[in-house]
Amino acid sequence: MEAKEAKPKLKKGFWKPEEDLILRKYVEIHGEGKWRTVSEKSGLKRGGRSCRLRWKNYLRPNIKRGEMSEQEKDLIIRLHKLLGNRWSLIAGRLPGRTDNEVKNYWNTHLHKVVSGDKTKEQQQQQMVKSPKPQVPSSATMAKTSPPDDKETEKMNHQVRSLSLQDFAQIFWDEGTFSLTTENILFHPFVGDDDFQSFLLL
C-alpha cells in the first residue's frame, strides 16, 4: 500500500515564540488571508487554520490582553442574554477582544456567575426578569465573514434590526435606564438615527 502523498507532518499544540515571530513577519509582508499558503510558504509546520487562529487571537495588532473591565463583563453578560452564544458578534462589540477570549471568559467566569453565584446574582436577576428573545437560528447569522468593513456593517445591521426593542428592555432596570456612557460607546447604534430615536424614547 502506497502512502498517498508524503504529507508533511503538521505540528500541533502550543505555539513557540519563534513560530509567532515567523508568522508575524510573514503576515506583515504578505498580508492576511490564504492561510494555507502561509503555512506552506513561511516554513511553519502548522496547518492554515492553526496559523489563522494564532494570528487572529494573539498576534494581530490591537489585541487587548489582560483582565476584563467591569464594563466589558457587564456588556458580555447583557449581549449574551440578547444574542446567545454568538461569540463573534459579542466580541465585535468589545474592541480588542476576540471571540475565543470572550467565549473562554464566559465559560470560566461569567457562566458560573450567571447560573448561581450569590454575590453576583442580583445583577443577573435584573436581566432574567424579562425573558429576551434569542437570535433566530437563521443560517444568515454569524456564519462566515467577509473582510472587516462589510462584516462590521453586517453585524451592526443584524444587531440593529433585531434588537432595538430588546436593547431597550435589557438596559431597562426596574424602571431606570442603566445605559452607561461606556455602554453607549460600545453600542452599535451610536451615531445612528435609530439610536437617537432610542434615546428619545
Partner DNA sequence: AAGCATCACAACCGCAGGCAC
Partner DNA sequence: TGTGCCTGCGGTTGTGATGCT
Residues that bind DNA (CB under 7 A): 11-15, 33-36, 46-50, 52-54, 56-58, 85-89, 99-101, 103-105, 107-109, 139-140, 142-146, 151
28 φ, ψ (degrees, to nearest 5): -60, -40
Of 75, 108, 99, 83, the C-alpha closest to 180 is: 75
Q: Cβ closer to DNA: 49 or 129?
A: 49
Q: Cβ closer to DNA: 7 or 12?
A: 12
Question: What's the min distance (Å) between Cβ of 172 and DNA?
Answer: 25
Query: Is 133 in contact with 48 (CB distance < 8 Å)?
Result: no
Q: Cβ closer to DNA: 121 or 173?
A: 121
Question: What's the min distance (Å) between Cβ of 142 and DNA?
Answer: 4
Strands 176-177 and 172-173: antiparallel
Question: What's the min distance (Å) between Cβ of 199 and DNA?
Answer: 28
What whole-number distance in Å separates Cα of residue 132 and Cα of residue 161?
Answer: 15
DSSP string, 121-185: HHHHHHHHHSPPPPPP--TTSS----SHHHHHHHHHHHHHHHHHHHHHHHTEETTEE---HHHHH
What Å distances lie between residue 176 and 12, 44, 144, 168, CA to CA? 51, 55, 37, 11
Question: What's the min distance (Å) between Cβ of 1 and DNA?
Answer: 22
Question: What's the min distance (Å) between Cβ of 167 and DNA?
Answer: 18
Question: What's the min distance (Å) between Cβ of 191 and DNA?
Answer: 22
Q: Cβ closer to DNA: 125 or 140?
A: 140
- State the amino acid at position 67 in one-letter form: E
Q: Cβ closer to DNA: 72 or 101?
A: 101
